[in-house]
Structure 1
Amino acid sequence: MMNARAVPLWLVLTLLFGIQPVATDLYLPALPEIAASFGGQVDAVQWTLTVYVLAFGLTQLFIGTLADRYGRRKVMLTALALYVLASIVPALVNSLGILILCRALQGVATASCAVSARAVIRDRYCEGAGMRVMAQSMTGMSAAALMSPVIGGLSTSVMGWQGTLSLVGAIGAAIWLIVYFGFPDTHAPAASGAQAGFGVFLRRGQFVFSSLLAGASFSGAISFLLLSSFIFIGEYGMSRFHYGLVVAACSLCFMLGTLACRRYLSHATVPQAIRAGAALTVTGGASQLLLWLAGVREPWALIVPQCIYMLGHGFHQPCGQAGAVAPFPQAAGRAASTSGFLLTAVAFTTGQCAAASPLPPAQTLVTVVSLMSAFIAFNAWFAIPRAYRARAVPA
């Protein structure tokens, strides 16, 4: 039998973060076949993504309290069991309503695993080491995001959409076994900090601005995903294959950014690492804006700056997410969930505004990325250094 020390912690964390792209990116290639299976109800099928995102965000409002009260491991195992169930049931029951419900449950399960994983990092590591581990885990998550669409396309071609959902469930079951046999809990249940309220977190500048840093960075990335197909396929006539390469290139740059962040944090402070990432972010956002204002309308004028932006994104996610939780070791679960809700709300709101924009998609993308880059620059060179200095001053 696998013992508690047989599985490296970084691998467990990577798998827990990785179920998110498995639940979304591996599932995406099956959407057209799902729509055809239910009579071409494209709008209804798109709800399977919408309810997932909403459930993912809303779950983070409360799941951290449960992780603090009952322990990380119990929440992880329950969430993974729900994840498996929500994958298998719609593959067996041919009902669009059941599929939509199960996708919402998958959002709940994915959020629970992500919050618990972020809390575990705070349980086990000090701030700088925690960010390096977060960056390492996100490197694995981005690798999963790179592979999932390819695997999803192949599985849908061979086994149909039901087979793809079953594959998602099988991956969840494998992770459940790894957590059950190879992961001891890192937190004693019912810690006193579990009752910390929202006001406690919102009064800490490091929590607020670290969360907003991650949210703003994610907003630029999610807006690209929402708009890019309309830009490159719809406006520029790019083939779906070449468009897939563009998305893969952005994911690869995010992965490289997480690797660079991890290396940078080995000899630099957190604010210095955030400024290094912001330099990449601002370079990408500013060059995209300047090329647009100069009248350059070639695909590369959007793609290359976006890739540079994604390199910076690889710094901001580990530094922002781990930095928000770091001041609250006794309430890490609640802090992780509140921060996760805040950054998801920022990104979701920005994405909805981008989708509803009256501007052409390319102009909307340039506008959003430029605004997010400016806000990230404010955070990196003013708000976050000030928050870290305030934390260092004794009360």
Structure 2
Amino acid sequence: MPVLRSQESPVNLAVARPRPPFRPTTETAPSHSPRRSVALLVFVLGVLSASSALATDLYLPAFPDIAADLNATESQVQLTLTAVMVGLALGQLVIGPLSDQWGRRRPLLVGTAMFAATSLLCMTVTSPEVFSALRFVQGISAAAGMVIARAVVRDTFSGDSAARFFSRLVLLVGLAPMLGPVLGGQLLLVGPWQLIFAVLGATGLAGTALVYLGLPESLPVENRTRQDPVLMLRTFTRLVRDPRFIAPALTMALSFAMSFTYISAFSFVSQEELGATAQQFSLVFGINTLGMILGNQLNVALIRHMHTSRRLYAGLIGATLAVAALGVLGLSGTAGLVTVTAVLFVMMVCTGLISPNATTLAVASQPSSLGGTSSALLGTMQFAIGGILASAAGLTGTGEATLVSMTLVMLATAVAATAVFAVATARGHTQSAI
């Protein structure tokens, strides 16, 4: 069983003969220095986790072009984004438990290779239906990087060290949604929207190489658990009944619904209601994602001064107030691209406090042998609830999201997330998680 430490150094995962650094091993931690090991781990896991963000964000500026090229409606194009989210949700539910049984490396190698293949196939689609089907498979494959990255962190770190590592990981992962739409907008100046999926394919191939060369196995054979459908169902049921897990997990899912509503609707809202170009939307999206990165770094600075639960609570309250201010702008008719960007920036700073702390509280409440399963349920709840609730922004008379409808959904989910965590805190279910 791994030894949990409170300092920021990786745990010795097993004892084995020394291997040269950067070569794949089965049960051995990297043989180079702890500081270098942490930096390498952040980079590899960051690239793997960023694949899902790139899959959802890189092609956002191309929505109007894709609709025109495939002769599709706005809702059909948005469905391709929903298909990815559903794939991410279901994929984590399957891949997470499998990684508890087979180890972390093998599912990662299969997932990254499949991600590369489906990305390249997306370049050949001629109908929105086929496009959505491929995007669903692409989401399943991208789920491997997300769910197993969290499990590897659970294998290796604990307590504040885990929160600090998650913050650094999100810093790197946050570059994907920040730079993704910006890069996507620039790629549209160079070539058609299919070029975006060529870049995604190259990202998948790079991820496969990084896993093979730079990520040793973090789950020893003796810590692996046999999985079957009945056992998985029992484990998921136990997790759902465990308030130490379900409270931060549901908080995470509802707050993700808030941010995903913004992600899925703002491309159309900014370009059709606020008069932005595809490049301006990319810039605004990048600025707001920078806010999330700043929030993550603020979280690191607060680790020694504030408990994990308090940092999460601060992020929830701040995000709710920011979305309420966005509602005032929308209802008063004073919203403009600059003012909306400023308010969304504050919301994203607060989101940077929510994500690492909610993840830490949920995953750290379970033993390492269930790291993949608990991470899978966390991710599945995040994308399933987020994807379903975000679609409510389009339930307008025209069937298209507006600034007001987007804000109403964001405010409802932000308030719900805050309420869930406030009740859990009042009942004492969040203090013993780490």
The TM tier, using the shorter chain, reads 0.7 to 0.9
The 3 A distance-change label for structure 1 pair 87 and 230 is closer
Instruction: Tell me which amino acid in the other structure corresponds to 1:191.
Output: R
- State whether structure 2 residue 393 is matched by structure 1 residue 354: yes
Aligned position for 2:16: none
1:262 to 300, 321, 341: 300
Report Cα offsets for 1:79-104 as digits up to 9, x if no partner.
0010111122344x555465443322
Q: Structure 1 length normalisation: TM-score?
A: 0.88
1:277 to 315, 339, 348: 315
Aligned position for 1:192: 225
Aligned position for 2:4: none
- State whether structure 2 residue 50 is matched by structure 1 residue 18: yes
1:203 to 237, 241, 245: 241
The 3 A distance-change label for structure 1 pair 197 and 275 is same
Report Cα offsets for 1:242-289 as digits up to 9, x if no partner.
333332222111111111112222443211211222242233134334
Confirm or deny: 8 A CA contact 1:205 1:384 kept in the other structure: no
2:114 to 49, 57, 82: 82
Displacement of 1:229 after TM fit?
A: 4.0
The 3 A distance-change label for structure 1 pair 363 and 113 is same
Aligned position for 1:374: 415
Aligned position for 2:41: 9
Displacement of 1:105 after TM fit?
A: 1.7
Aligned position for 1:41: 72
The 3 A distance-change label for structure 1 pair 201 and 193 is farther
281-290 or 176-185: which moved more?
281-290
Confirm or deny: 8 A CA contact 1:206 1:384 kept in the other structure: no
Counterpart-to-counterpart distance in 2, 1:262 and 1:338? 26
Report Cα offsets for 1:105-134 as digits up to 9, x if no partner.
210111121011111111101032112211
Counterpart-to-counterpart distance in 2, 1:352 and 1:149? 20
- State whether structure 2 residue 326 is matched by structure 1 residue 288: yes
1:50 to 82, 85, 90: 82
Confirm or deny: 8 A CA contact 1:118 1:322 kept in the other structure: no
Query: CA-atom RMSD, angstroms?
Result: 2.8
Displacement of 1:154 after TM fit?
A: 3.4
Report Cα offsets for 1:162-186 as digits up to 9, x if no partner.
4332221112111211110111111
Report Cα offsets for 1:163-212 as digits up to 9, x if no partner.
33222111211121111011111113572385452221012112111112
- State whether structure 2 residue 139 is matched by structure 1 residue 107: yes
Counterpart-to-counterpart distance in 2, 1:90 and 1:248? 25
* Secondary structure, aligned partner of 1:184: coil
Instruction: Tell me which amino acid in the other structure corresponds to 1:346.
Output: I
332-341 or 258-267: which moved more?
258-267
The 3 A distance-change label for structure 1 pair 363 and 22 is closer
- State whether structure 2 residue 343 is matched by structure 1 residue 315: no
The 3 A distance-change label for structure 1 pair 246 and 164 is closer
The 3 A distance-change label for structure 1 pair 241 and 49 is same
Aligned position for 1:121: 153
Displacement of 1:381 after TM fit?
A: 3.8
Within 5 A, what are the aligned runs for 1:147-226?
Answer: 147-189=179-221, 191-192=224-225, 195=231, 197-226=235-264
The 3 A distance-change label for structure 1 pair 289 and 50 is closer
Counterpart-to-counterpart distance in 2, 1:145 and 1:331? 29
Alignment: residue pair count? 389
145-154 or 76-85: which moved more?
145-154
The 3 A distance-change label for structure 1 pair 210 and 391 is closer
- State whether structure 2 residue 384 is matched by structure 1 residue 345: yes
Q: Structure 2 length normalisation: TM-score?
A: 0.81
- State whether structure 2 residue 194 is matched by structure 1 residue 141: no
Instruction: Tell me which amino acid in the other structure corresponds to 2:380.
Output: F
The 3 A distance-change label for structure 1 pair 358 and 319 is farther
- State whether structure 2 residue 397 is matched by structure 1 residue 363: no
Aligned position for 1:298: 335
Q: Which runs of 5+ in 1 are unaligned?
A: none
Counterpart-to-counterpart distance in 2, 1:278 and 1:172? 34
Report Cα offsets for 1:119-168 as digits up to 9, x if no partner.
11111010321122112111111112122223233334434344332221
Counterpart-to-counterpart distance in 2, 1:60 and 1:127? 24
Counterpart-to-counterpart distance in 2, 1:55 and 1:374? 27
Confirm or deny: 8 A CA contact 1:118 1:336 kept in the other structure: yes
Confirm or deny: 8 A CA contact 1:128 1:269 kept in the other structure: no
The 3 A distance-change label for structure 1 pair 191 and 134 is same
Instruction: Tell me which amino acid in the other structure corresponds to 1:251.
Output: T
Aligned position for 1:387: 429
Identical-pair percentage: 25
- State whether structure 2 residue 287 is matched by structure 1 residue 249: yes
